[in-house]
Structure 1
Amino acid sequence: MIAAHAIQITPEILKLIASIDEFKGAWRALGTLAPDRLSALRRVATIESIGSSTRIEGSKLSDREVARLLSNLQIKSFSTRDEQEVAGYAEVMELVFSSWQNITLTENHIKQLHRDLLTYSEKDAWHRGNYKTSTNSVVAFDEDGKQLGVVFETATPFDTPRLTTELVTWFNEERDAARFHPLLLIGIWVVVFLEIHPFQDGNGRLSRVLTTLLLLQAGYAYVPYSSLESVIEQSKEAYYLALRQTQGTIRTESPNWQPWLVFFLRALAEQVRRLNRKVEREKIVLATLPELSLQIVEFAREHGRITMGDAIRLTDGNRNTLKQHFRSLVAHGQLRQYGSGRGVWYELGNE
């Protein structure tokens, strides 16, 4: 059974939880951002989350390539492994955002999410939606792809079903009992899930999808608007170190939850800081932009990019006037310019 009673609540943990919960309350009371602004923030955060979460696991696609792929998701045909993984992650994220109230934490739902996550991934067709059948210890490689050694031994295929059942039962009972703060509970859930590593592949990506699901269910409604995956990608070494330090102790008499919980809460606090910065910048920018510039920026947010032709159709404005607005937006960092001559196009700058 999971010995969560051994959690040490340090002043730093208390402070981090308090700051995250303060923002949670402020977000609920915010009500100042219009729906189109919110949808633009969510679009950017979703692209960052998908890009970061798949790159943590070895994908090479940039956020711009992810954005391009997402605009063509309906084709349902993806040639590379990276594209297949991004497409699956995008669909599962959308499912979680739209239906989190209806996805109870059961083994069946976890298996379904795993199956959907790998739905386009040809190399994973044989195992998606099923627990692992062979060992999948976490291994470190050097730059040449040579194996350096096992970083962490995960649960055996034999023990996996029992340990996963125990974890799901424990989490649901503790959530109902409300003995622990939800953030501590979710943090422990994630690190134990990754210690079991119940599926042959896709465990890291699935753990981040489940983190988002559990945060939404715990009332952290701002989560879709700021990418936690991006924070983790930018502190990948600390992420793996914290996992290793805690995971090695989970099956002992006195597990050391501290390294992982501190990392997890710091990452959540950074996610909040980034969103807070964006919201504040939105308010300032929107209060000072001329109407034409505002329309241009909003179109770029909604569609990922804008051309002069788009701007003329959108605003019915004069080409020379619009050129001045584009120049000003680029100069102030609100837009970035690509291409030249007739092929010029723009995307958001300081998002």
Structure 2
Amino acid sequence: MLIIDTLDITPELLGLVAEIDEFKGAWKALGTLAPERLSALRRIASIESIGSSTRIEGSRLSDSEVERLLANLSIRSFATRDEQEVAGYAQTMEQIFQSWEYIPLTENHIRQLHRDVLRHSDKDERHRGNYKSSPNNVAAFDENGQQIGIVFETAAPFDTPRLMRELVEWTNAALETRSLHPLLVMGIFTVTFLAIHPFQDGNGRLSRILTSLLLLRSGYAYAPYSSLESVIENSKEGYYLALRQTQATIRTDAPDWKPWLLFFLRALHQQMKRLEKKVEREHLVLAALPELSLRILEHAREHGRVTLKEMVILTGASRNTLKDHFRKLVEIRHLTMQGQGRGVWYRIG
């Protein structure tokens, strides 16, 4: 069972929790953007999250390549392992965003989500959705791909079902009784899940999917609009160091949760601050827009699209003046240009 008695709640931990919760409470006021702007923020965050989470595990696809792949997800045929991993992560993350209310934290759902994350991965077909059957210790490799040592010994396959059952039971009980703050519970769940490493592959990606699920189920409704995965990718050395420092003590009588919880809460705090800045910028940009630009946006919202010709007729403004307004709205990502030549039209975001 998890030993939480040794958890040292420092002033920094308390301060990070307080700021994140303050933003959580203010999100309804901060999130008063038009639905299409919120959709645009979520789309950008999703691309960043999918790209970052798969790159942490070795994928080489850039965000622009991820965006192109997402535009063609319906093809259901992916040429490389990187594409398979991106497609699986994207579809599972969208499933979480759409249906989190109906996905409680259970072992069955964890296995189902693992199956979903790896749904397109040919290499993982035999074991996806099943706990590991052979050891999967975290190893270090040299530049030639030769193993040079074990970084961390994960749980034995024999112990994995029991440890996962205990972890899920503890997490649900702690969240229900609020014996610990939900953010601390999520942090402890994540580092323990990764210490168990319950599946043969895909544990890192699944841990980030489960973090999003727990955030949404605990009322952190802003989570889809800012990428936590991107924050982690930009702090990858700190991520692995914090994991190793806590995981080295996790099976002792005095686990040191502090290194990981500090990293985890700092990452959540940075995710929050990024979104706070984006929302403030959206409000400032909208407040500073000229009347003619606002009229263009209003028409696009009402009709789903807008053309230069329509706005010439509606406003009486010159084509050159309107072209300038359209160009600036595209630059600040309030409009996206579609089509070519005389068939050009614009949509929101």
TM-score for the superposition, normalised by structure 1: 0.87
C-alpha separation in 2, matches of 1:292 and 1:258? 53
User: How far 1:292 moved relative to its partner?
Assistant: 6.5
Matched residue, 2:164: 164
Matched residue, 1:84: 84
Matched residue, 1:124: 124
Worse overlay, 283-292 or 110-119: 283-292
Please show how residues 143-162 of structure 1 align to structure 2 within 5 Å: 143-162=143-162
**Deviations 1:156-213 (CA, angstroms, capped at 9, x unpaired):** 1111111111111111122222110000000000000000000000000000000000
C-alpha separation in 1, matches of 2:120 and 2:69? 13
Matched residue, 2:241: 241
Matched residue, 2:71: 71
1:229 partnered with 2:233: no
Please show how residues 276-291 of structure 1 align to structure 2 within 5 Å: 276-290=276-290
C-alpha separation in 1, matches of 2:41 and 2:122? 32
C-alpha separation in 1, matches of 2:187 and 2:282? 31
CA contact (8 A) 1:295 1:315 kept: no
Which structure would you say has the larger Rg? 2
Partner secondary structure for residue 156 of structure 1 = coil
**Deviations 1:313-339 (CA, angstroms, capped at 9, x unpaired):** 795568744553465468x7659x9xx
Matched residue, 2:315: none
1:29 partnered with 2:35: no
1:190 partnered with 2:190: yes
Distance 1:293 1:81, change over 3 A: farther
Matched residue, 2:260: 260
C-alpha separation in 2, matches of 1:81 and 1:299? 43
**Deviations 1:270-304 (CA, angstroms, capped at 9, x unpaired):** 0000000000000011122346656989999xxxx
CA contact (8 A) 2:81 2:121 kept: yes
User: How far 1:77 moved relative to its partner?
Assistant: 1.1
CA contact (8 A) 1:312 1:319 kept: no
User: How far 1:68 moved relative to its partner?
Assistant: 1.0
Percent identity between matched residues is: 67
Partner secondary structure for residue 59 of structure 1 = coil
The one-letter code of the counterpart of 1:170 is: W
Matched residue, 2:4: 4
CA contact (8 A) 1:311 1:322 kept: no
C-alpha separation in 2, matches of 1:94 and 1:206? 13
1:17 partnered with 2:38: no
CA RMSD of aligned residues (A): 3.1
Worse overlay, 199-208 or 32-41: 32-41
The one-letter code of the counterpart of 1:208 is: R
C-alpha separation in 1, matches of 2:291 and 2:208? 39
C-alpha separation in 2, matches of 1:140 and 1:70? 32
The one-letter code of the counterpart of 2:99 is: S
1:135 partnered with 2:149: no
**Unpaired segments ≥5 residues, structure 1:** 301-309, 346-350
C-alpha separation in 2, matches of 1:145 and 1:179? 45
1:179 partnered with 2:183: no
C-alpha separation in 2, matches of 1:60 and 1:290? 42
C-alpha separation in 1, matches of 2:285 and 2:144? 46
C-alpha separation in 1, matches of 2:299 and 2:242? 41
Matched residue, 1:211: 211
Matched residue, 2:103: 103
**Deviations 1:123-152 (CA, angstroms, capped at 9, x unpaired):** 110110000111111122344434332211
